[in-house]
Amino acid sequence: MTDPTQDPGPDSDRIAEIAANQPPFARLLGLTVVSAAPDRVLAELLVTEDLTNRNGTLHGGAIMAVADNLGGTATFLNLDLEAGEGTSTIESKTNFFRTVALGDTARCETVPLHRGRSTMVWQTTITRGDGTLAANVIQTQMVLRPRG
């Protein structure tokens, strides 16, 4: 879904479709994209028992997977899909600051640090329901173009 407070542009239907049609793995995690635009993607993730570690808090791998999906989504929103462009993660770094408890909702915001022709760098900030920082992920996405 696009942010209803933003002026819908010519790409608003495309953005809404990309936000609503997340990959199967994102659906498996329970990730919900709340709003999406080429310069910001917001999402939420309810911490269920299936996503917890041995300590009963959100697994670090789930945090990394969510950030990877959102970085890919954000890149996808900036690609020329008609020209056949795609994307692949080539680097990702995560800092963990606090746990996110079972039953809490992690809020995720992905913003660009760099949007180039061959790579894009995204920062995903994950906060707990109380607004405190849980993790920060910076990842690089390569822009893939058809050969020929």
Express each pLDDT in 93-117 by its tens digit. Answer: 999 999 999 999 999 999 999 999 9
Residue 121 clears pLDDT 70, i.e. is over it: yes
Task: Return the closest-CA partner of residue 109 out of 45, 38, 40, 27.
Answer: 40
pLDDT score recorded for residue 3: 45
**Residue 127: strand, helix, or coil:** strand
**Across 127-138, average pLDDT:** 98
Q: Hey, what domains does the chain have and what are their CATH numbers?
A: 12-144 (3.10.129.10)
**Across 133-139, average pLDDT:** 98
The pTM (predicted TM-score) of the whole model is 0.90
Mean of all residue pLDDT scores within the chain:
92
Residue 141 clears pLDDT 70, i.e. is over it: yes
pLDDT band at 18 (very low <50, low <70, confident <90, very high): confident
